[in-house]
Amino acid sequence: MTTPTATFDAHVPTAWTRTALAAAGYEGFVTFEELRQHGATKSPGIYVVLRSPATPPVFLARSAAGRSRDFTAPVERLQAEWIDGAEVIYIGLATHGSRRDGVHRRLKQYRRTGAGTADTHGGGVWIFQLEDAADLVVCWRAAEDESDAFVAALEHHLIADFVARPEHGRRPFANRKD
C-alpha cells in the first residue's frame, strides 16, 4: 500500500520550475486565454501558475479581478510579498465539484474572476494585478486519490515543500494562506 506522503511526493517537482513540473507529470502549460480553447482535465488535482522570472514584476494600481468584489491590494504589499527569481507564483487545488469537472471548472472560475466577469475564485487573485497577467502560464496534474481530503492535503504538502526550499522560504506570491 502506498503511503500518503509517497503519493504526495510523486507530485513534488525536483525544483519549482516549468521544466521540473513537466518532468513531474504536470501538463497544460497554457495561458488563461489558451485555456478557454483547450480546457483542462476534469479530474480533481493541483494547478500551478507560473511567470518567467526574467523580468521584475510591474504591479497595476487596480486589479482587474472580480465582478462585484474589489480584489485590489496595495502595490507596496504586493512588492513585499514578491519572491525574486521564483517561477511559480501560485499553487491551487481543485476538487471534483458538484458537476464533477475538477481542474477544468476551477481554472474556468479563476480565469473568469481574473477577467472581471465573476467572483468565484478569491484565492490567488494577486496574479491579476500583474501588468503581464495575460502572459502567465498555468499547468495541472490530476490527483491519484480523488477525495477532497486528499487533494486538500496534497496542496498543503506542495506549498510546504515550496516554503521549505531555501531559494523561496515562504509561500508562493499569490498563496495568501496555506
Tell me the mean pLDDT in the region 141-157.
Answer: 93
Which pLDDT score, from 0 to 100, does residue 101 have? 84
Which pLDDT score, from 0 to 100, does residue 9 have? 81
Do the beta carbons of residue 31 and residue 137 sit within 8 Å? yes
Kindly state the helix (H) or strand (E) to which residue 24 belongs, with its residue range: none
pLDDT at 105 over 60: yes
Do the beta carbons of residue 57 and residue 116 sit within 8 Å? no
pLDDT at 1 over 80: no
For residue 95, which of 163, 149, 20 has the smallest C-alpha distance? 149
Task: Reduce the DSSP state of residue 89 to 3 states and report it.
Answer: strand
> Euclidean distance between the first and final Cα of the chain, in Å?
28
The model carries a pTM of 0.93
Please state, for a pLDDT cut of 90, what percent of the chain lies above it: 70
Task: Reduce the DSSP state of residue 160 to 3 states and report it.
Answer: helix
Domain coordinates of the chain in residue numbers?
A: 4-164
Classify residue 29 by burial, with Cβ atoms within 10 Å: 0-12, 13-18, 19+: middle
pLDDT band at 88, cuts 50/70/90?
A: very high
pLDDT band at 6, cuts 50/70/90?
A: low
pLDDT at 87 over 80: yes
Kindly state the helix (H) or strand (E) to which residue 114 belongs, with its residue range: helix 102-114
Which pLDDT score, from 0 to 100, does residue 161 have? 96
Which pLDDT score, from 0 to 100, does residue 29 have? 97
C-alpha grid cell for residue 90? Answer: 501560485
pLDDT tens digit string along 12-55?
999 999 999 999 999 999 999 998 888 899 999 999 999 999 99
- Which among 7-11, 12-16, 142-146 has the top mean pLDDT? 12-16
CA distance 15 to 90: 14
Q: How far is CA 5 from CA 107, 148, 154, 177, in A?
A: 26, 16, 9, 21
For residue 17, which of 89, 88, 83 has the smallest C-alpha distance? 88
For residue 11, which of 148, 20, 107, 166 has the smallest C-alpha distance? 20
